[in-house]
Chains A and B, each alone.
Chain A
Amino acid sequence: MKVDLTVNGKDITADVEDRMLLVHFLRDVADLTATNVGCDTTSCGACTVLLDGESVKSCTVLAAQASGHEITTVEGLASNGTMHPVQRAFHEQHGLQCGFCTPGMVMAIVSLLRENPHPTEEQVRTGLEGNLCRCTGYHNIVRAALAAAEVSS
């Protein structure tokens, strides 16, 4: 079937299988491979992207469902070579080790801060319950989210 998505501001029209998942559309059709497939069961959040500005798990959305909508992946955050405040905060607060969960974490935090620009530490921890990290123990990720909120205020 024909789908028509706006990905990181660019219109992409493609003929895909009805059953194609959004994450595979992003990686295999749009050639944007930063979004990872982790658990593939809506649990780990590695595949988190923004759909019309809100975080979703792209392993559990059909490309067909996203047709006509705007998708933002982590590749779409930086502008003119300048990192997004959340990306910069991950760098400065050492918010990653292996990096596999990072694209999803960053997108989940971008969505969280849009809904709640000044979260408490507890709200950040609760807001990230859909994203798993097996390296950091989360502390520096939470610090990065709080630092990004501070910078943006």
Chain B
Amino acid sequence: MKSFSLRALAIAVSATLAAVAPATQAAESVKIGVVTFLSGPAAGPFGVPARNAAEILIEELNAGKVPGPHATKGFGGAPIQMVLVDEFGSTTTQVSEYRNLVQRQNVDIVVGYISSGNCLAIAPVAEELKKVTVIFDCGTPRLLEENAYKYVFRTNAHSGMDSIAAALYVASTKPGTKSYAGINQNYAWGQDCWSDFEGTMKAKLPAAAVTTSQMPKLFAGQYGTEISALLAAKPDVIHSSFWDGDLEALILQAAPRGLFKKSTVILTAGETAIHKLGNAIPDGTVIGARGPHSVFAPDTEINRWFQKTYRDRFNTPPNYASYHMVQAILGAKTAYEKAKAAAGGADPTQEQIIAAFEGLTYESASGKVEMRNSKGHQAIQETAYGTTKMVKGQLTVTNVKRYPADMVNPPEGVKSADWIASGFKR
């Protein structure tokens, strides 16, 4: 009995150590750590589509099948190896996992992060460990506006753009708006989006007044009371930055009660819902995709390739999270190859990759991406909003308005909140 339990303990301990032993790296490959939500509520709408996009992009890159400027195999000829990590769990766990990725798994580049809390916590660690980290989806403007990081890049425009453009769309399509309301999740994302929208409306449509701002708890799921309050307030326009589970619940619960008919509803992150809930979304809803992605993507060779390959494999169209991931990896690839060329064909160092990445302009599946703000670390991009309309049983977007990058992203060195408050001074 005693020897059994001691032996069992020894086996268990060695198995544990083996599982966490440093992984050896295949020679000549570029190792990318990909961190995104694989469990929890953010997995379905964002994490898994992003992972799928990463999987398929890396596969196709390694086979050299990606068209246009990205035709080189892998990263500069070296095959890409992906290490996948679940972004679920507390921030402490994520910091721990990041250190794991860099110090134990020895990845060359980290691409990831959807949750703003995680992004903010990871950034200083990236600086400490000197590892190029490409943020692909986090929304908070604070990340690169309040700090200067050398190793951290963000290839998607931040959340300020979404709500600014939403307000601009309202101002141009419904200039007679007298009142507006909001229903946003009561946490940093929802609070920021609402204040950006309110701030822009004050500047562009000063005559319009706020009737109510509903801020239910994140993941509340039941919005009957909030919907009643919105119906009673009778606003012309309703702004919501709800995302997936909550967004779908809101649509399902509000549409039959006529909320979408009585007010124009703007869903700044609505694109993820149109693929699954297409026929439940009433006509006349304004949809955003956090950038010119998915239904707003330009008809380029890369986009056609991405749409086809993704749909063939996963039987569903890619959503904006998928596009964000593609954007991040393609950005990293372009920077890596530029650095490699500048280094005369040798594998580039982290510093060389940084030098190549700063200020880079490259083409993604949704068009041009310019790493212009925050000293070349923050991407700016155009964005688009459209109004839904059912045509022959398929949901389409009409009245699409595109907003050039300069119109919806603050100038270099200016915080987006300050920019809005100043009335968009350039």
Partners in one complex: no
Q: Which residues from chain A sit less than 8 Å from chain B, CB to CB?
A: none
